[in-house]
Amino acid sequence: MPIDMDRYYTPERVAISALERANLPFSPITCADSTCGSGRLLDAANAVFGSVRSIGIDRDEDAISHLRLRRPDWFLSVGDLLHNDTVEVLPKRSCVDLLVLNPPFSHGNKKAVDIVFAGKSMKGSIAMAHLLRSFELFQPKLGAIIIAPESLLYSETDQVARQTLESDYQFQKIADLSRCTFSGASVQASVVQISPGRHCPSQQEIRHGDAVIQATIVRGSLSVHLNISSVHGAPFLHSTDIRKVVFTGSTRDLSNTTVVAKGRTKGWVILIPRVGLPDASIVKALKLETMTQLSDCVIALSFSNKASALKAERRIHSRWTEFRGLYRGTGARYVTISRLSFWLSTVAIATVA
């Protein structure tokens, strides 16, 4: 299969189960898929929601020709979604209820492409570029159910685009797909529902009575090889020191550094290694008595008082498996600030960087 044609179609059972998981206030009457390929997601929409008016676009002429024969009643067009002028004007496009989408995930070696959305220029992944363009084109009343690389939810590449869409919509992951879902491609994908309205943590995310805890994320920046050890200066805390500091409750045994870099903190914190899966015994609230320089492999969540730090520790531990799931990567597992802060918001820990 030629990779550049992106024919990684959604298996039927995956498409149906993705749409069955959607939480919608009413059943859509019109659904659109702007990269419809063989039409699997629109087929699933017809199976799950009853007969829906179906609009499909794809740049692959063969795919659209086959689909026209199989589904003569659908509104289908050949067009390149990322080049405005080649997309045919669609019938009553402003009346689309739900967008169903499994966009292309990659674009050769290019990590990011240029996107213009809502008059704003930004960079983002190819999947995000398709998503935003589709929202602009269809303005779906109920939002979208998309199959996307999970990085779309967390990556720094897509952060600006995500935040832009989040001013009117909220993202919710509703399922993880197994790596072998798409024949011929190994990719970590999720089913994501994007619904109108700003993100506010759901009842499921915040249990009754949980108040939001405020925290500051302090990301260390000093790499070990740039450190200049000295008897003077601030204690220098690397990820391999976290265990010692948690167990002794002190930074006394650390070496000091005279280098002043970003990522210094003091007071009530929870220290988190950026790289390497942590175990629960080191992710603990503790008080740093002196201003401490964090290495580039350490992230600190800093709290204004002991009660908040202890409460945050309990919340993280109560969802420990999910917290460890934030560490991803094919080599050494690592967590990113955006992945961490997004997840913390689901346990009612609001962060500022």
**Choice between 31 and 41, CB closer to ligand SAM:** 41
Q: How far is the CB of 28 from ligand SAM (least distance, A)?
A: 16
Q: How far is the CB of 149 from ligand SAM (least distance, A)?
A: 11
Decide if residue 81 touches ligand SAM (CB under 6 A).
yes
Residue 27 CB partners (closer than 8 Å, separation 6+):
49, 50
DSSP letter string over 150-202? THHHH-STTHHHHHHHHTTEEEEEEEEPPTTSSTT----EEEEEEEES-----
Decide if residue 35 touches ligand SAM (CB under 6 A).
yes
Q: How far is the CB of 156 from ligand SAM (least distance, A)?
A: 23
* CB-CB neighbours of 172 under 10 Å: 17
Decide if residue 133 touches ligand SAM (CB under 6 A).
no
Among positions 22, 31, 41, 270, the unique one binding ligand SAM when judged by CB under 6 A = 41
Q: The tokens of 29 are what?
A: 């009457």
Q: What is the DSSP pairing of strand 264-273 with strand 169-176?
A: unpaired
Among positions 18, 19, 54, 104, the unique one binding ligand SAM when judged by CB under 6 A = 104
Decide if residue 190 touches ligand SAM (CB under 6 A).
no
Give the C-alpha separation, 140 to 302, whole Å: 40
Among positions 12, 23, 51, 80, the unique one binding ligand SAM when judged by CB under 6 A = 80
From the list 8-16, 155-163, 268-276, 301-309, the region that binds ligand SAM by CB under 6 A is: 8-16
DSSP SS3 for 347:
coil
Give the C-alpha separation, 117 to 206, whole Å: 32
Give the C-alpha separation, 22 to 85, whole Å: 32
Residue nearest ligand SAM (C-beta atom): 37
Q: The tokens of 31 are what?
A: 């659904």
* CB-CB neighbours of 138 under 10 Å: 25
Decide if residue 74 touches ligand SAM (CB under 6 A).
no
Q: How far is the CB of 147 from ligand SAM (least distance, A)?
A: 7
Decide if residue 135 touches ligand SAM (CB under 6 A).
no
Among positions 46, 54, 102, 257, the unique one binding ligand SAM when judged by CB under 6 A = 102
In angstroms, the first-to-last Cα distance of the chain is 44
33 within 8 A of 39, measured Cβ to Cβ: yes
Decide if residue 10 touches ligand SAM (CB under 6 A).
yes
- In DSSP terms, 100 is beta-bridged to 145
From the list 80-88, 150-158, 167-175, 226-234, the region that binds ligand SAM by CB under 6 A is: 80-88
Within 313-332, the residues that bind ligand SAM by CB under 6 A are none
Q: How far is the CB of 16 from ligand SAM (least distance, A)?
A: 12
Q: How far is the CB of 92 from ligand SAM (least distance, A)?
A: 20
DSSP state of 277: P
Give the C-alpha separation, 211 to 150, whole Å: 28
Give the C-alpha separation, 227 to 257, whole Å: 6
**Choice between 45 and 326, CB closer to ligand SAM:** 45
**Choice between 158 and 296, CB closer to ligand SAM:** 158
**Choice between 180 and 352, CB closer to ligand SAM:** 180
Q: The tokens of 183 are what?
A: 């024949």
Residues that bind ligand SAM in the complex, under the rule CB under 6 A = 5-10, 33, 35-38, 40-41, 57-60, 63, 80-82, 102, 104
